[in-house]
Amino acid sequence: MTTVLTPASPLTAADRCDRCGAQAYLRVVLMSGGELLFCAHHGRKFEPELKKIAAEIQDETERLTTTPKSASEEER
């Protein structure tokens, strides 16, 4: 059997951390097939343990430090 992995969709404001309910910036796909979502804080806190059980980690924390393209020059 051939397994094809499709690219994960970007996380949105509707995706919430499974630990605290804040906006999720990390998606962890488990080897068992499940999925966990974490905010940046909890993603960093649990990173060592997550790496042991994750098949894939989608990290979008860089979005926390980037300036939106719609921001004015004064905001950049």
DSSP state, 73?
A: G
Q: Is 75 within the bounds of a domain? A: no
Which two three-digit tokens encode residue 70?
């719609």
75 pLDDT band, cuts 50/70/90, is low
CA distances (Å), 26 to each of 20, 29, 52, 66, in order?
Answer: 13, 10, 16, 16
Cα(51)–Cα(45) distance, rounded to whole angstroms? 12
pLDDT confidence of residue 7: 62
Does residue 7 lie within any of the structural domains?
A: no
Q: In this predicted model, what pLDDT tens digit does every residue of 18-58 receive, in sequence order?
A: 999 999 999 999 999 999 999 999 999 999 999 999 999 99
Could you count the other beta carbons within 10 Å of the beta carbon of residue 57?
Answer: 15
Domain that holds residue 33: 14-61
Q: Does pTM surpass 0.75?
A: yes
Q: For 62, phi and psi rounded to 5 degrees?
A: -65, -20
Split at pLDDT 50, 70, 90, the class of 61 is very high
How many structural domains does the chain have? 1
